[in-house]
Structure 1
Amino acid sequence: MTNPVLLIGPLAEPAVCDALGVRGEVLTLPGSLSGADRHGLQRGDWPVYGAGNGQIAARRVEPNAQLHRFAAVMGLHEIRIDGQPALGACDGRAYGVWIADRQGDLLAELVRMILAEPADLAADRIAARLPMMGVWASSCLRAAAGPRSGGNVVAPRGPGDIRVSHYEQPYAGYFAIRKWQLTHRTHDGGMTQPMTREGFVSGDAVVVLPYDPVRDRVLVIEQFRLAPALRQDPQPWLLEPIAGRVDAGETVEAAALREAREEAALQIDRLIPGIHHYPSPGALGEFLYMFVGLADLPDDVTGVHGLDSEAEDIRGHLLSRQQLRDMVMAGQITNGPLSMLSLWLENRPDLIAGEP
């Protein structure tokens, strides 16, 4: 990629070009793109180019080191369009419909994260973390667009109120650890002394407590959890609500419905937002979107479910709403989100009465 190259598909979107640091002529090319609108977030997963009728947007740019690096991580290879090299799509069997501008901001955020990785880190190692990097990129965009915590009680803050002098990532696997040296604005208007803080990067997740307002009961799940075992808890199999990560480009509602299918083979009829929150903001980079999911919960709805690909072994249990509440008050539920949703449900008489 030493001569000018055409960027098409996801790479032609303005936010992505800005993140890659490339500029160039905007033009249209003959042909079409097909594929799912979440293409461009995984290695080798790009829309398919088809010659013939139609037009696609493109940019002719001079490739730089950032584009080379990104292409290596993403497994992007040049294709030819009218004899010109192009990046951003692949040859192959077309399916679905590619819709431009669906993931431009998300892909741009992912580009910035990839380019921030150490220059000597192998592209294959970065590519292995792309699913979780996409989760984190989505989480950062969702946080930036979300409501400000604290309402009118906490004064608004700006970029200059946090100053990071050094950044490193001492560990990056499925999850990651990030380490900042920083100062931040004090309540009297000054700045703190330099400090070092570490955070566990895990990304946004959804939590769903299925509730049947007709039978007045809930479905909870039971599964092994590593953290209690590390703590030497004699009972590391916890009762929990349904929960899981929000995939890159996925809405929190879609993730909640998907997790209900995967972990309990359950169809949720309606999602009602509960208490969205940071469970441990001192060190854990996770935000929980919590829902009560209205569902039909007959006696035979329980079973053992989960994804084999994730070694999940998840058993469902039916409890009356009162039984769950009593277990919470007796200290028999040690999963925080389940306790919170149980108590939240107690304060929703509209749900308890089965009203829409």
Structure 2
Amino acid sequence: MTLIFLCGPLCHRPLLDVILGGDFALSPAFVGGRDGRLVDAPGHFALAPHRGAKVEGAVLEAPAPQAARLAFYAKATGLGARQVRLTSAMGTAPAITYALTAGPADIGPWDAALWLADHAALAVETAVEVMARFGQTPPARLRARLGPIRVRAASRLRARSEQTPNAVRSAPGDVALQAARQPYAHFFAVEEYDLTFRRFDGTTSPPINRAVFISGDAVTVLPYDPARDRVLLVEQVRAGPLGRGDPNPWQLEAIAGRIDPGETPEDAARREAVEEAGLTLGPLLPVASYYPSPGAKTEFLYSYVAITQLPDGAAGVFGVEDEAEDIRGHLISFDQAMALVASGEVQNAPLLLTLLWLQRERGRLRA
């Protein structure tokens, strides 16, 4: 047995259920001479030396398999192991704990209610993907991909929380997942599923295999100036056309980007407009939310038109340097934009859909 002092998020039973993968018993305990610090990340908690303070938590007597799972999760999420001396109903004893070292990026004292409201669900969903790789993927590799893993976790939470009308299509359910594999994972991932589903004649299908390209939810936004009747398009090189063998991989698009954990789609649209075009957007008008390619990809898009002032000189070259972005803006009249649609120079679905929506709503917006 390994004696482990659990504190902060690691005292959250739904998170521990995922990490430990089996029954466990906790007893109240504390560690003196330290205080807990909140860190703005799911599952993260910092211990800082502080004379006279104490950190409340719990003690876990972990058998070897559970101790190994907890150590794996800690390494994958960047938590460090350290020796502490805990006090419980059984007295004092040495133990190990997992936490960050407090530093200048700390937000403030640990607030369990705040973490529960803002981070707990994402922490649990992130742990689901992390622990699914236990015994298969080195934790250091997962640590390097923790950002995309959190994005995908946030996307799954968003999918489960949103309304899914089914006035015509079948009701949710009647799909049985029998096995899942992840043969590739980096910034994006590929997963394979063995599944059965209820056929329209009421019978169950034979087992089938499907592969899915895994990415997070994203947002697109087209700035439109009703007074000048112009839009701003962005241009950049894209790997998709390159991989298809297209001799011209440069694409004209709406401003776009992934939705980070903790962001709303609207927040992401405004952030991306600053990063990709140097624009502060006005009102955001929802166009549609949709799967652009549901046969092969998990990506789900939220598309908007943003009422924005677009004077001469508003376009430039922008992008986030750390992401190797090199993005050029184009100020284009609405009529010219629709001519690009007609000529085939606009080739990506979100911009096509958004321009056709704007064509329908343009008179109202200009009025």
Q: TM-score range by the shorter chain?
A: 0.7 to 0.9
CA distance in 2 between counterparts of 1:46 and 1:300 reads 46
Shift of 1:95: 3.1
| Aligned twin of 2:81 | 78
What amino acid is aligned across from residue 254 of structure 1 in structure 2?
D
Matched, 1:206 2:206: no
Q: Secondary structure at the match of 2:152?
A: helix
Q: Is the 8 A contact 2:42 2:123 kept in 1?
A: no
CA distance in 2 between counterparts of 1:353 and 1:52 reads 65
CA distance in 2 between counterparts of 1:35 and 1:55 reads 15
| Aligned twin of 1:311 | 324
| Aligned twin of 2:196 | 183
Aligned pair in 2 of structure 1 residues 299, 26: CA closer, same or farther (>3 Å)?
A: farther
CA distance in 2 between counterparts of 1:9 and 1:266 reads 39
| Aligned twin of 2:272 | 259
| Larger Rg belongs to | 2
TM-score normalised by structure 1 residue count = 0.88
Aligned pair in 2 of structure 1 residues 93, 236: CA closer, same or farther (>3 Å)?
A: closer
Q: Is the 8 A contact 1:163 1:184 kept in 2?
A: yes
| Aligned twin of 2:357 | 344
Equivalent of 1:146 in 152, 162, 168: 162
Alignment of 1:3-82 (within 5 A): 3-21=2-20, 22-25=24-27, 32-40=35-43, 46-47=45-46, 49=48, 51=50, 58-63=57-62, 64=66, 65-79=68-82
RMSD after superposition? 2.5
CA distance in 1 between counterparts of 2:360 and 2:29 reads 57
Shift of 1:79: 4.5
Matched, 1:134 2:150: yes
CA distance in 1 between counterparts of 2:129 and 2:120 reads 14
Aligned pair in 2 of structure 1 residues 20, 230: CA closer, same or farther (>3 Å)?
A: closer
Equivalent of 2:172 in 153, 157, 160: 157
Q: Secondary structure at the match of 2:80?
A: coil
What amino acid is aligned across from residue 92 of structure 1 in structure 2?
G
| Aligned twin of 2:92 | none
The range that moved more, 114-123 or 27-36, is 27-36
What amino acid is aligned across from residue 297 of structure 2 in structure 1?
L
Q: Secondary structure at the match of 2:289?
A: coil
Shift of 1:82: 6.1
The range that moved more, 332-341 or 16-25, is 16-25
Matched, 1:290 2:303: yes
The range that moved more, 60-69 or 23-32, is 23-32
Aligned pair in 2 of structure 1 residues 87, 118: CA closer, same or farther (>3 Å)?
A: closer
Shift of 1:165: 2.5
Aligned residues: 346
Aligned pair in 2 of structure 1 residues 39, 110: CA closer, same or farther (>3 Å)?
A: closer
More strand by share: 2
Identity among equivalent pairs (%): 37
CA distance in 2 between counterparts of 1:28 and 1:155 reads 52
What amino acid is aligned across from residue 148 of structure 2 in structure 1?
M
Q: Is the 8 A contact 2:220 2:302 kept in 1?
A: yes
Shift of 1:109: 1.1
CA distance in 1 between counterparts of 2:61 and 2:261 reads 29
Shift of 1:81: 6.2
| Aligned twin of 2:106 | 95
* 1:218-242 per-position Cα deviation (integer Å, ceiling 9, x unaligned): 1110001122122232321110011
What amino acid is aligned across from residue 24 of structure 1 in structure 2?
L
Shift of 1:290: 1.0
Q: Secondary structure at the match of 1:348?
A: helix
The range that moved more, 80-89 or 279-288, is 80-89
Alignment of 1:114-125 (within 5 A): 114-117=130-133, 119-125=135-141
